[in-house]
Amino acid sequence: MFKNKACMYLRLSKDDGMSSESNSIINQRELIQSYAKNNEIELVKEYVDDGYSGTTYDRPALKDLMEEISKKNRAFDIIIVKDLSRFGRDYIGAGTYIQKIFPQLHIRFISINDNYDSKHADMSDTNLMLPIRNFINDSYARDISNKVKSSQKMKREKGEYIGSFAPYGYKKSEENKNKLIVDENIRDIIKSIFDMKLKGYSSKAIAEELNDLGIDSPKVYKEKQGLHYTGGFKAVKGGNWSAKSINRIIENEVYIGTMLQGKSATINYKNKKQIEKDKRDWVKVEHTHEGIISKEVFYIANRMLKRDLYNTKEKKTDLFSGMLFCKDCNSPLVRRVVKYKEKERVFYICSKYNKEKSCTRHSMKKEDLEEILTGIFEGYLVFHENLYQKIQTIDITKNIVDTQIGILQREKEMTQELLSSLYADLEEDIISKEEYQMFRKNYLEQITKLNENIEHRRKKQEAAKERIKNNEKWLIDIKKYKALTKPDRLSIVMLIDKILIGEDKEIEVIFNHQEEVAFLEAMANSREEKTVRKFVESEVCYG
């Protein structure tokens, strides 16, 4: 060991807030250098933990320091800190180091601002002053932790982004670091990922496609931006895209403008280990920033994600990938290719039959399926065009009326009149003071309940109007598929949920938006205004 040779330990946490200037690494270093010079101590080494909390002792520089003092031929036998809080804010942990570990290793510990030097400390200093200092630091750490959590909770509930790094495809606004804006360099990549999923690519195939095109993975891209990124995107082969990173993007609602935060939390202010929170406790706020893709595309892509999409070795996507199911056992159908006279014939069979022989073949040729589906599509588009024309005749500002609201409003007015007449009845000795108070209480309660009921029904009425508007937009979107001579991949996944194949080759097509279609069809078939009002009133009550 070398007498009077020391190291300085410096630490700064992002939680130090307003005191960061006085506790800066430079300030700590200069103070320790001045102290060492005045006390004839030679500084031979420096350990710095910048950005690490004092409530945990799992810090890289502190670990290196502990490794050094454990050596027989260590370079120093003195540790100097600016104050005890720089070493640690955990009462028990700091006390263990200073009162047990350092003395056992014959290490001298100096805390300048606390006027503490273990070489000159007597029993009262060691056993009384240090625990008090440690307790104060521990309380400070707990207080800081609670304030940070409270602030973060408020920001989450307002839809403000509080992550260290913006999600891939976004960046933090320069004007407001809690606001996400689209990274235009990445916008088209996000769109292409969802587009490939809709086309029938597996997540692995999408990752391979991006790697072949030389597109940087989220981790590599952020590193090139100068960010020390350690996020959740698992990369392979030195930072390439993987199926897992593709899945994380497709599942992330941030791409439709929705903020979903608070998925995990630390155990407490001392233990920084992250634990998953119940989904019911996640904080979800919609319309917090610009979405890159539509909700329709997002939900369909996630539906495809849950299905077993297959790709050929040539990375070609199949028209019906993830869409065909056995009508009897509901298992997905698998694609099979047979070569006959130098021609390839594609057909589909039940996967359960293919693996276990426990169902039947349910075999269907691709060309036959396309022909049948073309006819079904033609009828579907004609039906929706007629439905759209009928919906156009409904004036939602006049026809979507909950007549019960007017009845409740009149009942409320009558109750208010009775309430107003109570005082006159009391003055004229028609009722007693006790009766006055009882009647007044009852009338006020009735008015409160009526107000709540009226407000509830008004909201339901507006929701019914909004539902018609939204579905009208959806009907307009369907029109773009009229120009197709036969269904393509995009029209199939956007309009169809699944296609069921029977053993005798009968086909049942389950279209998307079935509830919306039923709602609009019922509205359209309500010819008379009175009937329409009655229908919507029912929708308001029970919708």
- 395-447 pLDDT per residue, tens: 655 555 566 778 888 888 998 988 888 888 888 888 888 888 998 999 999 99
Confidence of residue 541 (pLDDT cuts 50, 70, 90): very low
Q: 302 vs 340, which has greater pLDDT?
A: 302
* Whole-angstrom Cα Rg for the chain: 35
Q: Average of pLDDT values for 117-139?
A: 62
The stretch 232-238 carries a mean pLDDT of: 48
Closest to 350 in 3D by CA, of 372, 335, 371, 365: 335
The confidence score (pLDDT) of residue 130 equals 59
For residues 231 and 222, which has the higher predicted lDDT (pLDDT)? 222
Cβ neighbours for 108, distance < 8 A, ≥ 6 positions apart: 6, 77, 78, 79, 102, 117, 118, 119
In this prediction, residue 119 carries a pLDDT of: 85
pLDDT at 518 over 90: no
- The backbone region for 355, taken as left when phi is positive above 0, alpha when psi lies in -120 to 50, beta otherwise, is alpha
* Mean pLDDT, rounded, for 3-8: 90
Q: Find where tokens 């169902």 sit.
A: 359
- Under the banding of pLDDT at 50, 70 and 90, the label for residue 509 is very high
pLDDT average, residue stretch 496-502: 93
Structure confidence at residue 45 as a pLDDT band (50, 70, 90):
very high
* Residue range 5-149 in CATH 3.40.50.1390: yes
- CATH number for the 170-305 domain, one of 3.90.1750.20, 3.40.50.150, 3.40.47.10, 3.40.50.1370? 3.90.1750.20
314 pLDDT more than 70: no
167 against 459, higher pLDDT: 167
C-beta neighbour count of 543 within 10 angstroms: 11
Would you list the domain boundaries of the chain?
5-149, 170-305, 370-542
Residue-level pLDDT at 444: 92
Helix-then-strand count for the chain, H and E: 20, 17
d(CA 364, CA 336): 10
- Using DSSP's 3-state secondary structure scheme, residue 353 falls into helix
pLDDT attached to residue 262: 79
Q: What proportion of the chain, given as a percentage, has pLDDT over 70?
A: 80
Q: Say which residues have a Cβ less than 8 Å from residue 199's Cβ, sequence separation at least 6.
A: 317, 489, 490
What pLDDT, on a 0 to 100 scale, did the predictor assign at position 14? Answer: 67
